[in-house]
Amino acid sequence: MSDVVEKTLTALPSLLSLDSLSGSTTLSSTSKLGNLIRGITELTSKHEEEKLIQRELTSIKEQVSSPNTSTRQMKELMVRAIYCEMLGYEASFSYIHAIKLAQQGTGLEKRVGYLAVSLFLNESHELLLLLVNTVLKDLQSTNLIEVCMALTVVSQMFPKDMIPAILPLVEEKLNHPKEIIRRKAVLALYKFYLIAPNQVQHIHNKFRKALCDKDPGVMAASLHIYFQMIQENPEGYKDLTSSFVTILKQVVGGKLPMDFNYHSVPAPWMQIQLLRILAILGRNDQSSSEIMYEVLDESLRRAEINHNITYAILYECVKCIYTIHPKSELLEKAAKCIGNFVLSLKINLKYLGLKALTYVVQQDPKLALQHQMTIIECLDHSDLLIKRETLELLFRITNAQNVSVIVEKMLEFLRVNKDDYTTIDLVGKVAELAEKYAPDNEWFIETMSTVFSVGGDKMQPDIPNSFLKLLSEGFDSVEEDRKLRLFAVDSYVSLLQGEPGKLPQRFLQVISWVLGEYSYLREELDAVLRLLANLLDMRSTSSETKSWVLMAMTKLCGGGAGVSVIREVCETYGSSLDTVLRQRAQELQHLSQDCELRARVLPRGAGLEPLEVDSSLSFLDGFVSEALAAGAAPYKPPHQRQEELAQTKALSLEPYGLSLPISMSSCSIADRQSPTLLSVSSGLSGESPDLSHKGGTTTLKLDGVKRVWGREGYLSQREPVEEPVHVEVPSPVVSPSQRGGEADRSHSQTPTPTATPQPEQEKQQLASSLFVGLASQSSVCLMGKSESTTQRFRRKARGPVSSPAASEQISNSPVSTPSTANHLLGNNFLDSNITSDLSVSSLESTSQLSRGPAAANGICEVELTESSPALPRDNAVAAAAPAPHQDPDTLKDACLRSHLPAEFSGLCPSDITPLCTNQTLDFLACHLQKEDSVSLVVFIYNSSDSDIQQILLELDSDELEVSCVCGSAVQEARSHSVAVCQYSLTVKRPSVHVEVVGMASYRCPAETPQSARFSYKLPLTSFIRPLTVSTEEYGAMWLDFSHDTKQKLTLRSDGRESLADTLDVLKKKLNLHVVEIIGTEGIVACRLLRDQPCLMHCRLHEGSLSVWLRSPVPDLPDCLMYHCQRALQEH
Amino acid sequence: MRFMLLFSRQGKLRLQKWYTATAERDKKKMVRELMQIVLARKPKMCSFLEWRDLKIVYKRYASLYFCCAIEEQDNELITLEVIHRFVELLDKYFGSVCELDIIFNFEKAYFILDEFLMGGEIQDTSKKSVLKAIEQADLLQEEDESPRSVLEEMGLA
């Protein structure tokens, strides 16, 4: 290597001159790359560079394909190929050779091979399949470095479907004696978790081992996985809170080896990761938060030195403190910290200070007051980023009093901003504030005009939609509405008189609609019509806008207004090549001549009337039946046609590939298919349906967008016509549900006469107008006037500080050890393998006896008398039970079963699982699957000698809807007896396992209130039911579903009937319906309760089963795939 | 971390590492756009950027810009330190590193980066152990290469 030579040179020119003497003639491997690099730097034009690289690539290509090239030369060639790719030239011919090099090379060659592969290919590249074997081999290598390389490449990119192939080997590495290997294995698993969480579900307890690893590096690596998992399911990891706190304490206390220090701060990366985890665990959870207070305080205290890294820790600490259950001392310290950030001269810290302020300002608006002068300064900062963040902060503290100043500032920023992403976001925020807090009509209309001009065609389409909806729906006062509309009309007329060519298309559409609807409020319609006609003549006007304009003219044309203008327009566009425009022009012509019809079709000011849209177009039925009678072919929806085409080819994978455009499938599910409906709506589109779903604060409104043309939308007239003229208005239809609480918008309030201070005036004054109404009691408030704050999006109030004195937290899942139940029942009843059929049937009679009348209601409370088969405290129970040969454990279970409500008799419940237990009460649960529902039954057994009343059970779940079936959630449990609560469960969001988290609070006589927490986990399969469909129906459904997943599964057997066997297993275990098996392919259907279908297509392929799952429900295919895999593995 | 880029003041890409699957075309577009934005910023400006849905953290060392894209909830300051630690590692390995070292030995720079970050997360924060891992790997093939091995060089440095 000529590094040494190069190192002595610091400047390029001298390097070049030296190498021109000696370097070019040598043929050593490095100099070839060196030559290339030098060659490029000498060039002057892009064109020359291109030529040189192409020449280079040709020569590389020649050499790599030559059989005489050694792996060492190959390594050098790969480096050059990587370089060319980095410059932006494609060297795809070398990809396969990179894989070969990784496979055949040793040491550095292999390493370069892997590097090239990881730079050239990404996860989905098909060539990666060829790498799997190499990785497998290297993972098993005895050479540590090769293992390291393999783990590195695996974490960089690995095909999702192939993860199962290497997973066992990677898992095995978790036990490797070398910590570097363990660490890399943990990180590789982390990567797998990110790209295919279902694949690594089963190794959760191994992660726990990694967390306890003696090497801090391995432990730190496992924190990444934990952060992800806890983020997804904080409830499941609450028990680890104290462990994380302990680790953090040790780290902060400097207990780790010096190696982990960074600029004399102990393991900052680890600290930050732990703080992030703690923030999630402590959110809305007082008891967990309490464990953390001490260590957070310590962290704040320790981070003293003035270095970036300590600020990083402080920042994370502050975020954590403000996220978890609040503690005033800590909040004070954190606030001081934020102050230091904001006041810092370092711009990075200032920015983070502003960010932190933005984060906390809703909880603590006074903090913003304290720093108001700094905020004002930042508002005029030369760095746009700082400005932007300040506006974000102001956005959060906006109220009815300071809205005009803040919006002015935001618009100012928007006018200079060039970045689309920011514009879209900020425009949405301005519109939101304007609607929420507008002080008066003029201000509102003018602000929205600026929004439309600045936001242009990039902004979220729901902004104009909701604006027009606001206008058309109006408020309480008719007079106020009239004024608002008139003002809008007037200001738009004057805009059109100016330079309409500069206005964005979206804005022109809004203007056209408003003028069309409300111009009648003013006198001279002729002038308006002329202005609209001018719009049509402008070259920049898009044809979509033109159709809005024509529509507006149609609304205005009555009463002999602007006859000549209209005639002219009709002549021009009556023969337009654009069919939509032609249609509109024809409508205009007809309606302008027929006043009566016009008044009926487009009644003035009736935009608000709800409209019944006959989406099935039943008024055409007569026409259709006539046509059918005349021999026309019946209409078939597109998917049916597709299906019929497919049937001619029997079952194959191909037809499924031809899926329909999304727009079609989205409207095909609810409504009856109708071609006219589709064409009508597409002709109507005032807005393009493919709205950009960009993030930002406007997400709330997005759900209305899809339904813009739904049946709730109003399409301007009452009856969709028997007339030959089919009139539709391109009105910006907004479904009523899109924005709740429209009426109570502050708009209807009396305008607050805020004196608008000039932004150029003194900062003090600006401050007073910006921060007015922030914290009226605060002495810092500069404005004398104090009105109650009207903050509408304050964070949810924190709960009361007091809590049940003793709270116990026990998390149990059916798989975990049942030891908690042991003391209750003397023995471990879970382990006994009962055949539930037997126990249920045998207990049928006894349970009948014991069941009180309350049983029918779902609550059944049983007195523990001698005759009833109650909980087995002694052996006397055996006598009561009819089957004498059962062992005691079974009996105990069976006795609880006897408490099951009557409606479940004959059903087979799951094993009864202990949830949690303490001195007085034991909680147990089981679930039952019914045809159309899943029920959860919670047993509360009172083992004490006193009755316990007012047991309040609250169940909640992220994935499930839990509803109590029994009359009330409050129960009482008599001494030594059992109370039963019954819940019905429905899936909200599919997940591999779903979990119900419960909290019971109760009060023993003469004792403080107590509470207990528990959780109950059940597999998604409990909610799966067969779905009986025909092959045709299956085909139709298949095309409509958008979420899918594919994977290869191992077959159950190799025999002839392997497909049928395998499907049979799945059918039995997962409750699926096998629709049909044709040759090597099979189709299977099931539904998730209630009525969420999932379809499965299986194909035998090279000894394994390719499974393809599809469903309209996101995540369902993935979860089901996981269970299929498990079912087949277990078998 | 989503990706890391190294580019020169002249807008030449020197290193790129992507931690999430991204199409080649998007990569090129993002690199071009980002280079433009970052190079246009003045030295006194904030080292952070909000760009698309990402946060960009960048820092300039001599003629090279180091630029990382992170998620919304990630800590910007610690990312600056990730960059700094990477530079320290390069410096230690090459011995007072300059842009030319990275141009001519970019594969080495990649190896160091891989040893330091894995799957976008920091893997090893200890300077010593990262370099040890690299050295061990280097040893494997230095035997048959030219006598002027990197190791000797390090002895010199």
Q: What is the pLDDT of residues A143-183, one digit of tens each?
A: 888 899 999 998 888 888 888 889 999 999 998 998 889 99
Predicted local confidence at residue A278, as pLDDT: 94
Q: Span A808-837, mean pLDDT?
A: 38
CATH (domain of A155): 1.25.10.10
Residue among A1076, A1021, A1041 nearest A910 (CA): A1021
Q: Count of CB atoms within 10 A of residue B74's CB?
A: 17
- Examine the pLDDT at A1110 and tell me if it is beyond 80: yes
Chain A contacts of B70, Cβ < 8 Å? none
Instruction: Classify residue A761 by its DSSP letter.
Output: S
**A1089 near A1102, Cβ under 8 Å?**
no
Let me know if residue A655 belongs to a domain.
no
Q: What distance in Å separates the CA atoms of residue A602 and residue A728, rounded to the nearest whole number? A: 10
Tell me: pLDDT of A669 over 50. no
Range of the domain at A211: 130-232
**Beta strand B117-118 with B48-51: parallel, antiparallel or unpaired?**
unpaired
Q: Chain centroid to CA A14: how far?
A: 55
Best of A269, A270, A349, A392 to mutate (most B CBs within 10 Å, chain B): A269
Whether residue A308 and residue B129 make contact (CB cut-off 8 A), yes or no, is no
pLDDT digits (tens, 9 = 90+) for A507-535: 999 999 988 888 888 777 888 888 888 88
pLDDT at A816 over 70: no
pLDDT value of residue B35: 93
Compare CB distances from B44 to A315, A347, A422 and report the shortest one's residue.
A347
Least trusted range by pLDDT, from A91-95, A98-102, A411-415, A672-676: A672-676
Output the DSSP codes for A922-963: EEEEEEEE-SS-EEEEEEEEE-SSS-EEEEEEEEE-SSEEEE
B104 and A268 within 8 Å at the Cβ level: the answer is no
Report chain B residues whose CB lies below 8 A from the CB of A115. 107, 110-111, 114
Taking the CA atoms of A654, A656, A662 and A667 in sequence, report the sign of the dihedral they define.
positive
Do A141 and A220 fall into the same domain?
Answer: yes
Peptide bond into A1090 cis (omega under 30): yes
Check residue A87 and report its DSSP letter: T
Residue A1042 lies in a domain: yes
Asked if B21 lies within 8 A of A15 by C-beta distance, the reply is: no
**A176 and A194 share a domain?**
yes
Number of alpha helices (DSSP H) and beta strands (DSSP E) in chain B = 6, 7
Q: Which of A982, A983, A1015 is nearest to A1000 (CA)?
A: A1015
CB contact under 8 A, B119 and A155: yes
Query: Residue ranges of the domains in chain B?
Result: 1-152
Report the alpha-carbon distance of residue A212 to residue A223 in Å, rounded. Answer: 11
Q: Which residues of A touch B148 (CB under 8 A)?
A: 1, 3-4
Residues A519 and A546 in one domain: yes
Contact A1039, A656 (CB under 8 A): yes
Nearest to A658 by CA among A637, A682, A638, A679: A638
The answer for residues whose C-beta is within 8 angstroms of residue A1048's C-beta and 6 or more apart is A161, A1101, A1104, A1105, A1106, A1107
B21, B46, B84 member nearest A351 (Cβ): B46
In DSSP terms, B55 is beta-bridged to B50, B70
Domain assignment of residue A696, yes or no:
no
Cross-chain Cβ contact B104/A9 below 8 Å: no
Band the pLDDT of A541: cuts 50, 70, 90: confident
Rounded to a whole number, what is the distance in Å from the CA of B151 to chain A's nearest CA? 12
| A560 lies in some domain | yes
**pTM score > 0.80 for this model?**
no
Nearest Cα neighbor of A210 from A185, A239, A240 is: A185
| Tens-digit pLDDT profile for residues A958-967 | 888 888 776 5
Distance from CA of A38 to the nearest CA of B (A): 10
Residues A1083 and A1114 in one domain: yes
| Nearest-Cα residue of chain A relative to residue B130 | A180
Q: Tell me whether residue A94 is in a domain.
A: yes
Of the two residues A820 and A235, the one the predictor is more confident about is A235
DSSP codes joined into one string, A606-654: -TTS-----TT-GGGHHHHHHHHHTTPPPP--HHHHHHHHHHTT-S-SH
Question: In percent, how much of chain A has pLDDT > 90?
Answer: 9
CATH no., domain B1-152: 3.30.450.60
Q: Are A357 and A760 in contact (CB under 8 A)?
A: no
**Cα A111 to chain center, whole Å?**
38
Question: Is residue A183 in some structural domain?
Answer: yes
Q: Per-residue pLDDT for A140 more than 60? A: yes
Per-residue pLDDT tens over the stretch A278-305:
999 998 899 999 999 999 999 988 877 7
Domain end call among A546, A580, A597: A597
Ramachandran class of A954: left when φ > 0, alpha when ψ lies in -120 to 50, beta otherwise: beta
pLDDT of residue A895: 66
Predicted pLDDT at A873:
41
Compute the nearest-CA separation of B123 from chain A (Å): 7
Residues of B in contact with A30 (CB under 8 A): 104
Q: Do A348 and B100 touch (CB under 8 A)?
A: no
Chain A residues whose beta carbon lies within 8 Å of the beta carbon of residue B153: 3-4, 7
- Are A83 and B106 an interchain contact pair (Cβ–Cβ within 8 Å)? yes
- Which positions 236-275 of A are in contact with B (Cβ < 8 Å)? 259-260, 262, 267-270, 272
The answer to whether the CB atoms of A308 and B77 lie below 8 A apart is: yes
Q: Please tell me if residue A626 touches chain B, with a CB cutoff of 8 Å.
A: no
**Number of helices and strands in chain A (H, E):** 47, 18
Of B46, B52, B105, the CB nearest to A386: B46
CB contact under 8 A, B49 and A421: no
DSSP secondary structure string for all residues of A159-202:
-GGGHHHHHHHHHHGGG-SSHHHHHHHHHHHHHHHHH-GGGGGG
> In this structure, are A983 and A1039 located in the same domain?
no
Q: Does residue A148 belong to the interface with chain B, where contact is any CB pair within 8 Å? A: yes
Q: What is the ipTM of this complex?
A: 0.89
Q: What b/e sequence results for A8-25 when a residue is b if at least 16 CB atoms lie within 10 Å of its CB, and e otherwise?
A: ebeeeeebeeebeeebee
Q: How far away is chain B from the Cα of A74, in angstroms, using its nearest Cα?
A: 14
Residue A1046's DSSP bridge partners are A1108
**What is the residue-averaged pLDDT of chain A?**
73
Q: Which residue of A has its CA nearest to B82?
A: A269
Give the Cα separation of A759 and A408 in Å (integer). 8
Assess whether pLDDT exceeds 70 at residue A370: yes
Specify whether A117 is located in the same domain as A162.
no
How many angstroms away from the CA of B141 is the closest CA of chain A? 6
> Which of A402-411, A756-765, A897-906 is most confident?
A402-411
Number of compact structural domains in chain A: 5
Amino acid letter, residue A879 = A
User: Which is more confident, B2 or A1043?
Assistant: B2
Q: Output the CA torsion A679→A684→A687→A693 (10° steps).
A: -30
Residue A272 has pLDDT above 90, yes or no: yes
Are B146 and A421 inside 8 Å of each other by CB? no
- Counting one residue from chain A and one from chain B, the pairs whose CB atoms sit within 8 A come to 175
pLDDT for the residue A652: 42
Number of Cβ within a 10 Å radius of residue A106: 13
Give kind and range of the element (H or E) at residue A915.
strand A913-917
User: Are residues A143 and A114 both part of a single domain?
Assistant: no
- Are A913 and A1012 in the same domain? yes
CA neighbor of A386 nearest in space, from A340, A344, A428? A344
Tokens 């938060």 sit on residue: A289
CA A614/CA A720 separation, integer angstroms: 8
User: Which residue is associated with the tokens 């009648």?
Assistant: A520
Asked if the C-beta of A621 comes within 8 angstroms of chain B's C-beta atoms, the answer is no
B76 vs A contacts (CB less than 8 Å): 348, 352
User: pLDDT tens across A946-979, in order?
Assistant: 777 777 788 888 888 888 776 555 677 777 778 8
In the listed set A86, A121, A156, which residue is the last one of a domain according to the structure? A121
Check B50 against A28: CB less than 8 A apart: no
Which residue of chain B comes nearest to A388, CA vs CA? B50
- Which of A382-386, A482-486, B131-135 is least confident? B131-135
Q: Closest Cα of chain A to B8: distance in Å? A: 13
Beta pairing, strands A1104-1111 & A948-956: unpaired
**Are A1079 and A1001 found together in one domain?**
no
Inter-chain touch B77–A348, beta carbons under 8 Å: yes
pLDDT of residue A403: 87
Q: How far apart are CA A1071 and CA A1067, in angstroms?
A: 5
Task: Give the minimum alpha-carbon distance from A828 to chain B in angstroms, rounded to a whole number.
Answer: 44
| A residues 1-30 lying closer than 8 A (beta carbon) to B | 1, 3-4, 6-7, 9-10, 12, 15, 28, 30
Task: Look at strands A948-956 and A934-942 and give their pairing.
Answer: unpaired
Query: Which of A623-627, A687-691, A876-880 ranks highest by mean pLDDT?
Result: A623-627
Name every chain A residue with its beta carbon within 8 A of the beta carbon of B51.
Answer: 419, 421
Contacts of A270 in chain B (CB under 8 A): 125
Listing DSSP states for A1026-1083 in one string gives E----HHHHHHHHHH--EEEEEEEE-S--STTHHHHHHHHHHHHHT-EEEEEETTEEE
CATH code, A1069:
3.30.310.10
Sign of CA dihedral A428, A429, A432, A437: negative
Give the one of B45, B47, B128 whose C-beta lies nearest to A259's C-beta.
Answer: B128
Q: Which residue has the higher pLDDT, A14 or B84?
A: B84
Per cent of chain A over pLDDT 70 is 73
Question: A 266-325 residues with CB below 8 A of B?
Answer: 267-270, 272, 276, 308-309, 311-312, 315-316
Q: Which helix (H) or strand (E) holds A1085?
A: strand A1081-1088
pLDDT at residue A850, as a whole number: 40
Please give the DSSP secondary-structure letter assigned to residue B55. Answer: E
Confidence of residue A885 (pLDDT cuts 50, 70, 90): very low
pLDDT, mean of residues A1017-1035: 85
**Angle made by CA atoms A74, A80, A81, in degrees to the nearest 5:** 85
- pLDDT mean over A111-127: 87
Is the pLDDT at A857 greater than 60? The verdict is: no
Q: Is residue A953 part of a domain?
A: yes
Yes or no, beta carbons of A10 and B98 under 8 Å apart: yes
State the pLDDT at residue A12: 37
* Chain B residues closer than 8 Å to A356 by CB: none
The strands making up A806-809's β-sheet, listed across from edge to edge, are A806-809, A1009-1019, A993-1003, A948-956, A970-973
Last-in-domain residue among A1022, A1055, A1070: A1022
Q: What is the pLDDT of residues A328-354, one digit of tens each?
A: 899 988 988 898 898 888 899 999 999
CB B70 within 8 A of CB B2: yes
* Domain annotation covers residue A1076: yes
| One domain for residues A931 and A962 | yes
State both tokens at A718. Answer: 């009452």
SS3 string of A987-1004? ECCCCCEEEEEEEEEEEC
- Is A88's Cβ below 8 Å from some Cβ in B? yes
